Amino acid sequence: MTKRLFKALATSAVLGLGATTAATAAECIAPANPGGGWDFTCRQIGKIMYDIGAVDKPVQVTNMAGAGGGLAFTHVVSERGDDADLIIAASSATSTRLAQNAYAGMTADQVRFVGAIGADPGVIVVAADSPYQSLNDLVEDVKANPGEVAFAGGSAVGGFDHLKPLMILQRAGVTDVTAVKYIGVDGGADAITQTVGGFTQAMTGDMSEIVGFLKSGDVRAIAVLTEERVPGFEDIPTAKEQGIDVVAVNWRGLYVPKDISDDDFNMWAERLQKVADSDEWKEAMAANGLAPFTKVGADFQTYVDSVVAEIRALSKEIGVIQ
């Protein structure tokens, strides 16, 4: 009897320990369920930090899904404001939501953005048998039949994946961009299956989401939204060289609580730089279709501020927010 009781207690204790954090190890919050980009950021960066000796204990990853990252943001601001052992995964989605005031009044200056060490270039993709051969074919068709073209993407309506085609169409002179159909599905791969299946005409997403499908020949990328063509994917033309000047990359980075000391902030910036310089990270970037994009420390904070301002202006213009 007592033996059984102890067994039950021991089992739950072991599982309990697994669920909570060991006292001093650094913690990385992925503000989404396992499997997405933020989760990847935490697990990959955390793993490399440990592997190259930048931290002496494995980084514990906590998944805190909710409100598109808003729950984690609020949690950090209100409850963990001075926790120097805490990093939180962030990306363009974070800055987009902050710009659109989707975190219930929270603002970008309530945390400190410590750095980004890679970026996922935005892409516009069509099925292999699609009649669209270039970005302009697509844009012309939208101009001719605004209600006929539908995009699928991995983010919700108003999210970063939705903004990409809207930005392109707006720059290309389409007056009523809101007539363009967009369905938000569960992730980029799902958006591709909808496009290959012919339910939508094009997919808007990130390079990492389409790598496998490009190789298998199921889809064609008609534009990548970067300044220059992406190394390794030289045959994909940029939107810019097709005459539509849109640059949209999904950076992968981290923020930290606001009230940590400057020393701690710099320590995280340094660790992040070490990861960026490591061969492991270069390998991980190549395998996942990320392009180099390193901005660390104060430099990155300025970048985020400018991006937030830009997206806010754009979202108002397009009518995503008032």
**If you compute the radius of gyration of the chain from its CA atoms, what whole number of angstroms results?**
21
Which of 41, 301 has the CB closer to other proteins?
Answer: 41
**Per-residue buried b or exposed e for 168-191, using 16+ beta carbons within 10 Å of the residue's own CB:** bbbebebeebeebebebbebbbbb
Contact 135, 224 (CB under 8 A): no
Indicate the helix (H) or strand (E) that contains 151: strand 150-153
In the complex with other proteins, the residue whose CB is nearer, 43 or 240, is 43
Cβ 29 to other proteins shortest distance, Å: 8
First-to-final CA distance of the chain: 65
Report the nearest approach of other proteins to the CB of residue 173 (Å).
Answer: 23
User: Which residue's CB is nearer to other proteins, number 241 or number 317?
Assistant: 317
Rounded Cα distance, 23 and 62, in Å: 14
Query: What is d(CA 126, CA 22) in angstroms, rounded to the nearest whole number?
Result: 47
Q: In the complex, what is the shortest distance from the CB of residue 90 to other proteins, in angstroms, rounded to a whole number?
A: 17
φ/ψ of 101, rounded to 5, equals 55, 40
| Residue that the structure tokens 């209100």 belong to | 78
Nearest-approach distance from CB 7 to other proteins, in angstroms: 6
Shortest separation between residue 288's beta carbon and other proteins, angstroms? 6
Which segments within 245-298 are labelled E, that is strand? 249-257, 291-296
Decide the pairing of beta strands 249-257 and 111-127: antiparallel
State in angstroms the smallest separation of the CB of 4 from other proteins. Answer: 5
Closer residue to other proteins (CB): 183 or 247: 183
Q: Is the dihedral of CA 108, 109, 114, 116 positive or negative?
A: positive
CB of 18 vs other proteins, minimal distance in Å: 5
- Three-state secondary structure call for residue 220: strand
Measured from the CB atom, the residue of 200 and 242 that comes closer to other proteins is 200
Nearer to other proteins, 8 or 309 (CB): 8
Residue nearer to other proteins on the CB measure, 47 or 240: 47
Pairwise CA distance, residues 110 & 180, whole Å: 35
Q: How far is the CB of 105 from other proteins (least distance, A)?
A: 10
Nearer to other proteins, 103 or 233 (CB): 103
